[in-house]
Amino acid sequence: MTLEDLQELSEKEQLRQAEKKHRILYCSAAGCASCGSDKIGAVLKAKIKEHGLEKECEVVGTGCLGLCGEGPLVKLQSDQTLYQNVDVQAAEQIIESHIVKNLPVTAKKVDTTQPFFISQTKIVLENCGEINSESIDEYIGVRGYEALAKVVNEMQPAEVIEEIRKSGLRGRGGAGYSTGLKWGIVSKAHGEQKYVVCNADEGDPGAFMDRSVLEGDPHRVLEGMAIAGYAVGATQGYVYCRAEYPLAIERLKLAIKLAEKMGMLGNRILESQFNFRIDIRIGAGAFVCGEETALLQSIEGKRGNPKPRPPYPSEKGLWGMPTLINNVETFANIAPIIRNGSEWFAGIGTEKSKGTKVFALAGNIRNTGLIEVPMGIPLRKIIFDIGGGTPEGTEFKAAQTGGPSGGCIPKDHLDLPVDYESLSKVGSIMGSGGMIVMDSTSKMVDVAKFFMQFCMDESCGKCIPCRVGTRHIYGLLDKISKKKATQDDMVLLQELCTMVKETSLCGLGQSAPNPVLSTLRFFRNEYEELLQPVEIYQGEPGVVADFEK
């Protein structure tokens, strides 16, 4: 297949869709699927058949439509009507009333002029909920694989890297390292074999961005990986996906198969000299395997124990070979950058944080679901406009970003622009995109304890500060929350947090104290209210160590 063939195919698909009077989309991603959207899809199809409308209408299962809290969702692509909480009855009505009689079903209609819909900027999610994620034709119909065709036939690897560097794209997996620089390092590293790895471990409990991208638009990730492979000189790629995402794994497998069949993956991609294969590796329930060195150990079939860096994976990664690791969302940004040019991308966002960020909005907030916003958007806008604020009768207290490695952002900082630098200034991190909103009912000590328990359970146990330190920090938080602690314990807590942060081997331990430090910073009073009074502070003597000879 050549670039021309691809464009022809794309036009053919666009024509095919244009001939349909209605494309009825139902969300078949995990969130809605768990509310029975498969059944809704079946009902829609049966009704279309019943009315003999199969020619002019098509019913399509798509990726996430965004408003996950109100599923199952159904959307008419023709006039962009969105229906929420669609049950069997409503599904029947949609066909009978809206499709047949052109009378929208007002009771279930979502007002798509609300800020939730209009304040978003979609790059990564542009196809999510627009195309059938199981069809490669539909992806090609929205100019899919065009960027790959352009790259392998018209660009030098160094030009690709330069384009990505100029776009200002930074890693979306947490640390925010410049993607272009990372690609440059891997491309210059020496090794007879190089690898590209997509980090789809999404370990932050309370985040589902990567899952939605994989379920709704898997080809986009594959295309990004193949472009990366071409740029750095790799011929083998791996997607490391967590086992908790069976649907994403299934869709990925199918997407790889279809892409191979059409010559987008495999040997001589799009009639160039470039060969690239992608395999899937499935995690097995370990948060630490999101950390890059642990992830590589896991791909090699070992325990997911991180290794000290340097050496970085870009120099010594999988089986000792130079390895490029990027997050799902990072790869999802690649094709549009190549298609639209780096200036276009660099025009979105702030000076140091370019493009958009996908957030999984959850917790005590009215609109839960998946959103994509330009970098630098004020937090207030995300929570109150897009998210619709906290539910009736409760008050916003804090938003937690970065999950167990991040921190909370209190009310006073609501006008903070959401970008890498600003978030770290207030002691949180961008993280991979989980954003949990807490209202007045959340107790911050308990929240800190919750995250510390998570880190303690997920610590791999290799290094002492994290293995034993997180255990004691958890113990201290437990003591405080049970009102048994004194000011001495607070001193101990603070000391331990600093020490674990500074001496742990990997990012898990180094960031595990963040939720505690951040709640101590903004909600110290909630800790102090729980302390036992001590008249005169003497400092805990501790017990004599049993090391006496």
Ligand X SMILES: Cc1cc2nc3c(=O)[nH]c(=O)nc-3n(C[C@H](O)[C@H](O)[C@H](O)COP(=O)(O)O)c2cc1C
Which strand ranges, in their side-by-side order, compose the sheet holding 74-76? 57-62, 22-27, 74-76, 81-83
Residue with Cβ nearer ligand X (288 or 409): 288
Told to check if 471 binds another protein by CB under 8 A, we report: yes
Phi/psi at 178 (5° precision):
-60, 125
Tokens encoding 295: 């992830």
Q: Which of 292, 333, 462, 522 binds another protein (CB under 8 A)?
A: 462
- Sorted by sequence, the CB contacts under 8 Å of residue 111 that are 6+ apart come out as none
Whether 51 and 95 have beta carbons less than 8 Å apart is answered as yes
Told to check if 456 binds another protein by CB under 8 A, we report: yes
Residue with Cβ nearer another protein (189 or 334): 189
Residue with Cβ nearer ligand X (206 or 347): 206
- Phi/psi-derived region of residue 236, left when phi > 0, alpha when psi is between -120 and 50, beta in every other case: beta
b (16+ CB within 10 A) / e for 23-45: bbbbbbbbbbbebebeebbebbb
Whether 284 and 155 have beta carbons less than 8 Å apart is answered as no
Nearest distance, CB of residue 423 and another protein, angstroms: 17
Residue 508: which of another protein, ligand SF4, ligand FES, none does it interact with, CB under 5 to 8 A by kind?
Answer: ligand SF4
Residue 145: which of ligand FES, another protein, ligand SF4, none does it interact with, CB under 5 to 8 A by kind?
Answer: none
What's the rounded Cα separation, in Å, for the pair 74 and 57? 14
Q: Which of 19, 188, 308, 483 binds another protein (CB under 8 A)?
A: 308
Give the binding range for ligand X (CB under 6 A) out of 135-143, 160-168, 221-229, 506-514: 506-514
By CB under 6 A, name the binding residues for ligand SF4: 288, 306, 459-463, 466-467, 504-506, 508-509
What's the rounded Cα separation, in Å, for the pair 136 and 262? 9
What's the rounded Cα separation, in Å, for the pair 264 and 277? 10
Told to check if 461 binds ligand FES by CB under 6 A, we report: no
Tokens encoding 227: 């472009």
Residue with Cβ nearer ligand FES (205 or 475): 205
For tokens 């279930």, what's the residue? 108
What's the rounded Cα separation, in Å, for the pair 161 and 479? 52
Told to check if 454 binds another protein by CB under 8 A, we report: yes
Nearest distance, CB of residue 360 and ligand SF4, angstroms: 24
Nearest distance, CB of residue 124 and ligand X, angstroms: 12
Nearest distance, CB of residue 406 and ligand FES, angstroms: 15
Residue whose CB is nearest to ligand SF4 in the complex, by number:
509
180-239 binders of ligand FES (CB under 6 A): 205-206
Residues 335-374: x where in contact with another protein by CB under 8 A, - otherwise, as a string: -------------------------x-xxx---xxx----
Whether 71 and 107 have beta carbons less than 8 Å apart is answered as no
The number of beta carbons lying within 10 Å of the beta carbon of residue 118 is 10
Nearest distance, CB of residue 506 and ligand FES, angstroms: 13
Cα dihedral 347→352→356→359 (10° resolution): -170
If binding means CB under 8 A, how many residues of this protein chain bind another protein? 91
Told to check if 315 binds ligand X by CB under 6 A, we report: no
CA triple 64-260-199, angle to 5 deg: 50
Residue with Cβ nearer ligand X (286 or 383): 286
Residue 214: which of another protein, ligand X, ligand FES, none does it interact with, CB under 5 to 8 A by kind?
Answer: none
How far is residue 293 from each of residues 189, 254, 283, 316, 389, measured CA to CA in Å?
17, 28, 14, 10, 39
243-302 binders of ligand FES (CB under 6 A): none
Give the binding range for another protein (CB under 8 A) out of 17-25, 122-130, 144-152, 298-306: 298-306
Residue with Cβ nearer another protein (352 or 472): 472
Give the binding range for another protein (CB under 8 A) out of 129-137, 151-159, 372-380, 491-499: 491-499
What's the rounded Cα separation, in Å, for the pair 382 and 399? 10
Burial class (CB in 10 A: 0-12, 13-18, 19+), 250: middle
Give the binding range for another protein (CB under 8 A) out of 50-58, 130-138, 225-233, 302-310: 302-310
- The single-letter code of the amino acid at 474 is Y
Find the DSSP H helices in 176-289: 179-188, 209-216, 218-232, 246-261
Told to check if 502 binds another protein by CB under 8 A, we report: yes
Tokens encoding 9: 């195919």
Residue with Cβ nearer ligand X (333 or 368): 333
For tokens 């870009």, what's the residue? 314
Nearest distance, CB of residue 204 and ligand X, angstroms: 6
Told to check if 387 binds ligand X by CB under 6 A, we report: no
- Site residues (vs ligand X, CB under 6 A): 171-175, 177, 199, 201-203, 288, 290-292, 325-327, 330, 432, 506-508
- Site residues (vs ligand FES, CB under 6 A): 205-206
